[in-house]
Chains A and B, each alone.
Chain A
Amino acid sequence: MRLYKKEGNTLQILSFPNDNIEKGDYLIIEDSRVNKKLITQVIDVQFANVPGLLEELLRDSTTEDCVYGEDFDPLKVSSHINHIQDAWMLLCKIRGTLENEKPSVNVSWLPSRSKSGIERFSITSLLAQIDNGRNLPIHIGETKEKSPFTINAHDLDGTLNIVTGKKGTGKSHLSKLLVLGLIDYGATVIVLDLNGEYTNLGFSQNGEKNVYHDKVHVLTPGANLKVSLAQLDLRVMLNILVHALHLPGASTREFRRIWQFLNQRRASTLRELGEAIKSWKCNQHVRDALFSRYNSLLNSGFFTDIATEAVTFEEFFGETRKGGALILNLQDVSSVDRQIVVEYTLGKLVELLGQWKIRAVFLFAEEAHLYLRETYWDDIVTRMRHFGVFTTFVTNQPDTIRENIYRQADNIFLLNFTNERDLETVSRAARVDSETVKSIAHDLPHHHCLVLGKTVKDFPMVVKVRAYDVQTMGQTRLFFTSRDYARAEPQLR
C-alpha cells in the first residue's frame, strides 16, 4: 500500500485486492523518521484510476462478443496487467496519531509519501490503545478479527444515545444488549416498549427463566400499571390534559380550580373528579370539554380509585435498586393512552429524580416520535439530562428524531441504511464526518453496527453484534411459513 494523496482530512491510498482491505478497516501509516504513526480509517474502496484503463476496457468490451481468439503469453504478463487493472484506491479519513504508542487527536502533521509504511491496524490493537472497555465492559459483539468488542458502561452514563438502522437490521437486538449490559452493573433502565419486544427479556430462548428474570419488570398500562389520582402532581396532570388530550386554555384553568378544590377536600379520586366536573359552575362548553377528557382518562384504564390496584413508581424503583429494567409495555395501547402513560412516567421520573429518590435512569425510547410530545425533545437533551435521565432513542426512521438530538448525541449505534435521505439525516451527528456515515453505513452487513462517539473514543468501529440467549419478541409475524412452501411445492411441479 502506498500513500497517494491528501485532501483535507481525506487520504487516498493505493492498494491491491490481495491486501484484503474493507470499508471500516483501520490503517496505520508509519513515518519512522519522525517516529509517528497516523491512524486512518478506510471509508470507501474504489478502483484506482489507472492510466490507459479505459482503452483497455473498451478494447475488451468491443471485441469480446464478436472476436474470438487466443493469446500466446508464455511469460504470463497478462496476470500482472490484470493485477494493475484491479488496483484499488482506498479513501481514508484521518482519525488521529499514535505518538510513542499513545493515541492523540493531533493530526497537524503529514507522513512522508515516499518513505512511509502502511499496514492494517487491527480493531483489537486500536481498542487496546484507546483503553476501551476495561472498567465496566459491556460485550457488544466481535470485531472483524473475531475478537470481542466491548464498550465501557461509563461511556453511556450521562449521555444521549441513538440506535438507528433500517427495518430488520437488529436495532432492538442491540438495544436489548445495552439494556442487559447496564442492568449487569446495577443501573436502572426504563424502556418505552412500543411493540412489546422487551417483555421477555427475563426468559431464555427455550422459554426458561434467565438470570435477568427477577430484574426485568414488565409494566402493562391498565393491567399491572395503574395509578391513583392522589399520586399525581397537578403539573403532570395538566401536561397529560394539555399535551396528550389537547385541553384548551380556558378549560385548563377551570380544571386547575377543580383539582385544587378536590385536593383541599382530600378527595382526589376519579369518581370525585367526575362529580366535581358535573356540578362545577362553569360554561357548558368548558364542562363538555372537561368531561370528554375525564372520560378519556377513565377509559384509558390507567387510573384507578382502588387503592390495592394502584402502584407507585417508587415501589418499582425500589425493586431495581441493584439493577433492573422497567419495561413499559405500550403494545396494544392506543396512541392517546400511550401519550398519557408516557407523560405520567416522564413527569414522575423528573419528580423522583428532583427529590433524589433515585440517582439516575437510563431511558430507552423505541420510536419515540409516536408518543413523545414536541417539547420533550429539547427537554431530554437539556433539562432531563441534568436531572439524570439518560436517553437512548431507538428508531428506524431517523428523520423523526430532531436534528439537535443528532448534534448532541454522544453515541450513535448505526446499523445498515440504504436510503440516501436516512443517511443524510444521521450524518448530521457531530461526532463524525458525514462521509464516514454515508459510506460505511450504506454497506453494513446484517447485524453489523457502526459505533460512533464516546464509547469508541471517536474512532468509528464496525462491530458484528453478538447473539444472546434471550427470547426475542421483535420478529415480524409472517403469513407464509416454511411449512407452507413445502406443501405448495408439489403443486408447483
Chain B
Amino acid sequence: MEDESFQPNESGFKQYATSHQQNFEGATPILRTHDLLTIKSIPIKPLFCDTPVAAVDVSSIKIGETETGLLCAIRGAIVWKHDSRYSYLRFGPFPFHITEENKKEIYNLFKHHSFEISEDANAPNLANVPIRMGSLLERWLQLGISCSAHDSVILWDGSLTAGTADSPLNVVSQLLEISRNRLNTILAFSKTTNLRLLGHKLTDLGEKSWPPCLLQINGFPPQSGPVFSLGNVYVAKLTQGICSFRLDIDKEISLERGIEAVQKLLGNDLLIQSYPETLRLAHTFSTFTATEVIGIQHLIAQQYGLRIIARPNIRRLLFGPFGKGSEG
C-alpha cells in the first residue's frame, strides 16, 4: 500500500453508508414463497430470570480508491447485558487495501481463520470484498460468542437464511449447532425483509397486533434454490409502537424453547420500538461515522504516505447537474 495514492469516493459518506452498510446489515436473501402460508398469533409475557443477552453486529465501509484497488475498513462489536449492566467489546477499525492481486489471499486468510476452511474459495468481485470481509468478521464474532456464552440469548442482525456467499450453509448450520450445544438460543432480527404474505410485507402484519406478541408464519419452504431457511420465521411485535421485525429462531430447537428465549429477552433487555437495546448498541458501536472515515483516511495517509487524489466524477462531467447517482 505504501506510496500509492488513493481516492475517496466522490459520492460521499452517506452514500457509502447506505450502499455498503445496508447491503448486508438490513436486507435478507429472498426466499420464494407460495400461497399456503398461515399465520398464528402467540401472545408472550416477559420472563424475569437472570439470562445473559448478547448481540453481535459488524460494519464495513469503503474508505476510498487507489490506482490499483480500494481501501475499506471493517469493525465489529459484541454487546452483552448481564446483571443489569451493558458491556461491550469492540474490534477495529481494521483498514485494508484490497487489490485484484491480494484480494484472494486476504479473503482466504479471513475464511481460514474464521472457520478453518482449508480449500481456496473464489474471492468476490473487488467492489463486494468489503461486505464479504465484514460478513466473515461477523461470523467470527458470532462463533466466538456462541462458544463462550452458556444458556444465553444471542441476538444476530439479519436472518437465518443460508446458502448465499455471505452466509454459507455449513457455516450458519455450524454456528447454530454450537449455540444449541451450549444451551444458547439465537434470535435473528431483520430490520427489512422481502418476504410477503398475501401481497403484504411480512413486517406490516404486526401493525394490528397487541404487543408483546409473536406472529408465527408457517408454510415457508425450507429451501428455495440454493437458499435454505434454517429458522422458523416470526413477526415480532414486542412493544407499543409502529415497528415490528422479522424474527428467525433456530428450527432445530423446540417451539417452546424459542418462545421462552423471546420471553427471556423481554424480561432481561430493554426494548424500544420492539428492538432490543443490546442489538441497537452493537449496531451503534460498530457503525462508522463520517469523522471516523476521515480519521482512517488520515491514518492511511500518515502511516503509508498515501496522497489523496480526487478522481473526476465522469457522470458530473458528462451530464452536469443531471449526472446523479453513483459513478459508472
Contact = CB atoms under 8 A, between A and B. Distances in A.
B291 A63 contact: no
Given A63-B281, A75-B299, A52 B290 contact: yes
B89 interface: yes
A421 B320 CA distance: 50
Given A52-B13, A73-B92, A77-B93, A68 B290 contact: no
Interface in B78-124: 79, 85-95
Most buried by A among B285, B292, B295, B296: B295
A67 B79 contact: yes
A75 B92 CA distance: 8
Contact of B89 (A50, A53, A69, A82): A69
A78 B294 CA distance: 11
Contacts of B86: 63, 66-68
Given A51-B13, A59-B284, A80-B299, A68 B87 contact: yes
Interface string B280-323: 01001100011111111011001000000000000000000000
A81 B281 contact: no
A75 B13 contact: no
Given A50-B291, A51-B290, A55-B289, A69 B87 contact: yes
B88 A80 contact: no
A115 to B, nearest CB: 14
Contacts of A63: 86, 88, 281, 284-285
A77 B89 contact: no
B295 A83 contact: yes
A73 B93 CA distance: 7
A280 to B, nearest CB: 88
A489 interface: no
A83 B95 CA distance: 17
Interface in A28-53: 50-53
Given A51-B13, A52-B13, A63-B281, A72 B290 contact: no
Contact of A50 (B91, B94, B294): B294
A56 B89 contact: no
A374 interface: no
A53 B302 CA distance: 21
A37 B291 CA distance: 32
A70 interface: yes
Given A75-B299, A81-B295, A83-B298, A67 B88 contact: yes
Contacts of B302: 80
A370 interface: no
A434 interface: no
B295 A72 contact: no
Contacts of A68: 85-88
Given A69-B90, A72-B91, A77 B295 contact: yes
A472 interface: no
Contacts of B93: 73, 75, 77
Contact of A81 (B13, B79, B94, B291): B291
Contacts of A75: 93-95, 299
Contact of A67 (B91, B281, B295): B281
A70 B298 contact: no
B298 A80 contact: yes
A77 B91 CA distance: 11
Interface string A99-134: 000000000000000000000000000000000000
A56 B284 contact: no
A63 B277 CA distance: 11
Given A68-B85, A80-B299, A56 B292 contact: yes
B6 to A, nearest CB: 15
B296 A52 contact: no
Contact of A71 (B13, B87, B90): B90
A181 B135 CA distance: 76
B80 to A, nearest CB: 9
Nearest to A74: B94
A77 B95 contact: yes
A210 interface: no
A80 B90 CA distance: 17
A68 B302 CA distance: 31
Nearest to A54: B289
B298 A84 contact: yes
A195 interface: no
A10 interface: no
A300 interface: no
Nearest to B299: A80
A171 B216 CA distance: 81
A75 B96 CA distance: 12
> Which 9 A-B pairs give the minimum distances between C-beta atoms?
A52-B290, A81-B295, A69-B88, A52-B289, A51-B290, A80-B299, A80-B295, A67-B86, A52-B291
25 contacts: A50-B294, A51-B294, A53-B289, A53-B291, A56-B289, A56-B292, A63-B88, A66-B85, A67-B87, A68-B87, A68-B88, A69-B89, A70-B88, A70-B89, A71-B90, A73-B90, A75-B95, A77-B92, A77-B93, A77-B292, A77-B296, A81-B291, A81-B295, A83-B298, A85-B295
Interface of A: 50-53, 55-56, 59, 63, 66-73, 75, 77-78, 80-85
Interface of B: 13, 79, 85-95, 281, 284-285, 289-296, 298-299, 302
